[in-house]
Amino acid sequence: MPSLPDTNTQTPGKRRRVGTPPVVASKWTSGDSRI
């Protein structure tokens, strides 16, 4: 079942849910701290 939440976290739907700018969403999805 861990596969479900994992996919949900990487799904673009999360950034839409948070309502944050694409830059912040990209950072969370990609896990990049340099942005």
Ramachandran area for residue 19 (φ above 0: left; ψ -120 to 50: alpha; else beta): left
Give the span between the Cα atoms of 9 and 7, in whole angstroms.
Answer: 5
| pLDDT score for 25 | 57
The tens digit of pLDDT for each residue in 1-35 reads: 445 555 555 555 555 555 556 666 566 555 555 54
| pLDDT score for 11 | 57
Domain ranges of the chain: 1-35
pTM above 0.85, yes or no: no
H-helix or E-strand spanning residue 2: none
Q: Spell out the residues 6+ positions from residue 35 whose beta carbon is closer than 8 angstroms to its own.
A: 23, 26, 27
